Structure 1
Amino acid sequence: MAGKRGKEQPGEDALIERIKTILGPPGPPVRVGIGDDAAALCESADDSETLVTTDLLVEGVHFNLEWASPYQVGWKAIAASVSDIAAMGGKPTAAVVSVGARPRAREYFIKSLYEGIAAACERYGVVIAGGDTVRSDRAIVNIAMLGRARKNRAILRKGAAPGDIILVTDTCGDSAAGLQILSLFPKSEITIPFMKRLINRHLAPEPSLAAGLAASASLAPTAMMDLSDGLAVDLPRLTARSGVGAVILEEKIPTSPDLRAWARRSDVPFATFAVRGGEDFNLLITASASKVDDLERNLESAGTRATRIGEIVPRERGITLVSSSGEILPWPEASFLHF
């Protein structure tokens, strides 16, 4: 998401590690705490566990009201949290919403925002259980969402092993291209169909809920997470948690015809969007070579395409990108981070 990180500031991952050190290891009922897409709580005798996630969206950091309507902000806020639950193979159940809004626009903003929230909740089976509103000098939306997964079966970022196949669902880079288009042209002047579709991928993303449930049902993933910040940021998070490295083949990263059309028009390589772009909310999955076919079959039955883009390797080999010409490149740094 938007927000350039100054070199003197700690990155989001470093900040999270500091918080983990302060809080110490979690105790019961928390099975999985800080560091994954959602927390996992074992708090009952049945065969499921509770997933908990939270997302904070701040105007000027995560969205711009010059081109995103409050309705779209509401939809995207729910979609981001649903994506976190999906990334652990769970199903979302309920959420609470806290909103900060400017006094002059408060009534209109909150009404439109909640219409977007309600539409997304209806789509993904989420019930709003409550929330809070407050006066603020900029728009703020916070979603805290609950979900359910089979007990001890939530899929974590930790678990990938050398030899595992790396896959992504759907395509990469559309949201980043849509964001670039919005930053270059007044929204009212954008009439070309492929550009409008890319913008929609950014403003109204579709989390990979069906894919996450299908992946979980296959029992194949060794690790999984959503690509909310893009391959450049999220793959190193998965490999760090698993204690491994990775090799990614640039030419295998799936991209849409719309993205390729915009890359030609903008003179920016489509692979730049695919690797560095975020907020596609598709899934990054690893699976052993013996089970990857089962995973792909389950995903296909759920209407999701998965593409093999690389392989997990020993940690000492780091993360490398093999270009379309066969050149071995160091893993690229992301352009944008939360901090």
Structure 2
Amino acid sequence: MIKLKDLGEKGFIKNIIEENKGIWIWGPLKPGDDASAVPYLGGYIILKIDGFASHDSKYPWNTWRDFGWKAVTACVSDILSKGGKPFAYLISLGMPGDMSVEDGLEIMRGVAEAIDYYGGYLAGGDTNSSKDDIWIDVACVGHSSNDPIGRDAQPGDHIIITGDYGLTGLAYLLYLKYLDKKIDIKDVPHEVVSTTSRPRAPIETYDLLNKYRKCIRGSVDISDSLAESLYLLSEFSGYSIKLHDIPINSFVREFSSKENIDPMELALYGGEEFQLILSIDPSCTNDFLKDLKRRSIKADVYGVVTEERRVAVYLKEREIYRKGFQHF
């Protein structure tokens, strides 16, 4: 008997999609994309559910309020990557009966803070008893007046990446050192604590994604790792991607230099940055980047879609390996 850990999360999802083709919701986004979409009143309703368990997604330096915040952010990030903006959220919580009431309420306070930040309303939810772990699922209902953005790309398209990378990769490295009792929680740098406690999806891009919709051919949210998200864009489009650089956080560069760590590895294989990778018509790139800069959104062109019909991502002429977070 094949076990889930043998197949992996991605493989299991492929099986789900294959077995449920007949009941999959009709819409412009392919099964397996960041979200689903259905036409509604001249626009589109965009649907997503995301969640995780505390043993996978809560560092010792995170609070329960941070846990709730990040769950909402993960769902918003997927909706945003399709050009949508959430307007309703439903929350499902699993908690053991001996968990304190205050801790449970703290999770929901983090949820409320995130909803206030991103916009929209809480529309209900569900509570469940869990045996050993605490988990949360967030369902988002969003809307877009334009066609949702899939994961398409054409040769010559520019690859734009928002944000910078490496802090979440460094967080995991420090977490392993903490487990080995090589460092204390107080030794974790503020930059790492802040990024992993309150990650922010770039909701400020929403208007611009719609303004430049005719130029943007593809969009992927970055949650499992930068490398994995680049590979998803290559896989869906069928073309390889060539990068001349990636945006590495300045603190990560400095820390890596002192500790003799490869900052590229930290940046490529982190996860939970909740930023965007976009494939865009080059004729729109300059105006799009200028508009992003006016809104203080960190973004730039880091590569191009090639004519090579192959699922591959190259960084400075070297093919990078594919790896991203999987629940099993």
Give the alignment's TM-score, normalised by structure 1. Answer: 0.87
Query: 2:247 — aligned with what?
Result: 254
Is 1:135 matched up with 2:124?
no
Q: Which among 64, 83, 93 is matched to residue 99 of structure 1?
A: 93
After TM superposition, list the pairs within 5 Å mapping 1:18-29 onto structure 2: 18-24=15-21
Query: 1:82 — aligned with what?
Result: 76
Q: Tell me the CA shift for residue 25 of structure 1.
A: 5.2
Q: Tell me the CA shift for residue 316 of structure 1.
A: 3.0
CA distance in 2, matches of 1:22, 1:187: 47
Query: 1:229 — aligned with what?
Result: 224
Consecutive unaligned residues of structure 1, counting only runs of 5 or more, are 1-5
CA distance in 1, matches of 2:79, 2:95: 27
* SS of equivalent residue, structure 1 residue 54: strand
CA distance in 1, matches of 2:144, 2:23: 19
Q: CA deviation digits over 1:23-48, x for unaligned, max 9?
A: 11556654435311111011x3x332
Q: Which among 12, 16, 27 is matched to residue 15 of structure 1?
A: 12
Q: Is the 8 A contact 1:215 1:299 kept in 2?
A: no
* SS of equivalent residue, structure 1 residue 244: coil
Q: Is the 8 A contact 1:176 1:273 kept in 2?
A: yes
Q: Tell me the CA shift for residue 140 of structure 1.
A: 0.8
Q: CA deviation digits over 1:137-169, x for unaligned, max 9?
A: 210101011111114x21111x20111111101
Is 1:52 matched up with 2:50?
no
* SS of equivalent residue, structure 1 residue 338: coil
Residue identity matched to 1:132: D
* SS of equivalent residue, structure 1 residue 61: helix
Q: Which among 298, 315, 319 is matched to residue 305 of structure 1?
A: 298
Query: 1:67 — aligned with what?
Result: 61
Q: Tell me the CA shift for residue 203 of structure 1.
A: 1.8
Is 1:241 matched up with 2:236?
yes
Q: Which among 108, 111, 115 is matched to residue 102 of structure 2?
A: 108
Q: Tell me the CA shift for residue 287 of structure 1.
A: 0.8
Indicate the percent of aligned positions where both proteins have the same amino acid. Answer: 24
CA distance in 1, matches of 2:112, 2:184: 25
Residue identity matched to 1:281: F
Query: 1:119 — aligned with what?
Result: 113
Q: Is the 8 A contact 1:91 1:213 kept in 2?
A: no
* SS of equivalent residue, structure 1 residue 290: helix
Cα distance change on mapping 1:187 and 1:145 into 2, 3 Å: farther
Q: Is the 8 A contact 1:55 1:80 kept in 2?
A: yes
Q: Is the 8 A contact 2:269 2:324 kept in 1?
A: yes
Aligned residues: 320
Q: Tell me the CA shift for residue 50 of structure 1.
A: 0.5
* SS of equivalent residue, structure 1 residue 291: helix
Cα RMSD (Å) of the superposition? 2.2
Residue identity matched to 1:330: E
Cα distance change on mapping 1:318 and 1:51 into 2, 3 Å: closer
CA distance in 2, matches of 1:212, 1:177: 29
CA distance in 2, matches of 1:90, 1:233: 22
Q: Is the 8 A contact 1:90 1:148 kept in 2?
A: yes
Residue identity matched to 1:331: I
Q: Is the 8 A contact 1:179 1:199 kept in 2?
A: no
Q: Is the 8 A contact 1:253 1:307 kept in 2?
A: no
Is 1:331 matched up with 2:320?
yes
Q: CA deviation digits over 1:247-270, x for unaligned, max 9?
A: 122xx2112211112212332111
After TM superposition, list the pairs within 5 Å mapping 1:274-293 onto structure 2: 274-293=267-286
Q: Tell me the CA shift for residue 298 of structure 1.
A: 2.6
